């Protein structure tokens, strides 16, 4: 009995650790909340004020590798200014979605980070809580022309967009998690004011997303 006690204790510790990890990542959880969250992506409007969207695609393989259950990939163009902003809104279990880094997504498209990520916080009219996004500028050369990308990203599990330092810990236990990327690509010769196009678009996009994703 004395010999088996340490082995039994070790087994229990391993079992508990595995159980905690599985629950925290949602590995074994089948959730109606997740199914509903994915279904609500279809409610994201194609037209938002003067901005008209054109859908892109994400392959089933890309979704499988990243643990994504549903996604909206769309490019919105302002009919008055002709400026375009793209979004990638993904949804899935909090485990894989919380660790889905932009360095992987956009490096595959040839972009490199020009600046370190910083925080962008704002009070958006129509939302009860301030939003907190991470933002950075990326670049790449396309046919000899240096292109810039202004990128914003954040997560949302309960109606508030936030970009915590440790998203996996922050969202642990959530059945479903959204992550939003908003980005504007322009040439290095365009006006510096173009850097604010994403911020302006977020101001009209986020209330509509709240209505689509979280309104009863």
Q: What distance in Å separates the CA atoms of residue 163 and residue 168, rounded to the nearest whole number?
A: 11
Query: What band does 9 get if pLDDT is binned at 50, 70 and 90?
Result: very low
Return the number of other C-beta atoms located less than 10 Å from residue 109's C-beta: 10
**Which SS3 state, helix, strand or coil, does residue 66 take?**
helix
Q: For 117-136, what is each residue's pLDDT tens digit?
A: 999 999 999 999 999 999 99
Least Cα distance to 181 among 108, 46, 85, 110 occurs for: 85
* pTM (two decimals): 0.83
Question: Which are the contacts of 10, defined by CB distance < 8 A and separation ≥ 6?
Answer: none
Q: For 41-89, what is each residue's pLDDT tens digit?
A: 999 999 999 999 999 999 999 999 999 999 999 999 999 999 999 999 9
Q: For 179-216, what is each residue's pLDDT tens digit?
A: 999 999 988 766 554 568 999 999 999 999 999 999 98
Q: Mean pLDDT lowest for which of 10-24, 97-111, 149-163? A: 10-24
Q: What distance in Å separates the CA atoms of residue 121 and residue 163, rounded to the nearest whole number?
A: 10
Is the distance from CB of 80 to CB of 99 less than 8 angstroms? no
């Amino acid at each position: 009995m004395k010999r088996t006690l340490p082995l039994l204790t070790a087994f229990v510790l391993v079992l508990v650790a595995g159980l905690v990890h599985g629950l925290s990542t949602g590995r074994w959880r089948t959730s109606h909340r997740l199914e509903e969250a994915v279904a609500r992506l279809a409610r994201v409007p194609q037209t938002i004020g003067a901005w008209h969207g054109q859908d892109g695609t994400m392959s089933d393989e890309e979704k499988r590798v990243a643990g994504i259950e549903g996604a909206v990939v769309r490019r919105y163009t302002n009919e008055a200014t002709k400026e375009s902003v793209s979004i990638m809104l993904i949804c899935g279990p909090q485990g894989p979605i919380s660790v889905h880094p932009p360095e992987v997504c956009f490096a595959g498209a040839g972009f490199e980070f020009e600046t370190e990520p910083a925080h962008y916080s704002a009070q958006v009219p129509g939302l009860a809580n301030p939003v907190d996004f991470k933002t950075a500028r990326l670049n790449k050369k396309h046919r000899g022309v240096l292109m810039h990308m202004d990128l914003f990203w954040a997560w949302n599990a309960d109606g508030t967009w936030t970009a915590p330092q440790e998203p996996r810990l922050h969202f642990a236990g959530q059945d479903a998690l959204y992550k939003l990327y908003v980005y504007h690509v322009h040439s290095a010769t365009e006006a510096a004011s173009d850097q604010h196009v994403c911020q302006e678009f977020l101001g009209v996009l986020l209330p509509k997303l709240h209505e689509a994703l979280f309104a009863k």
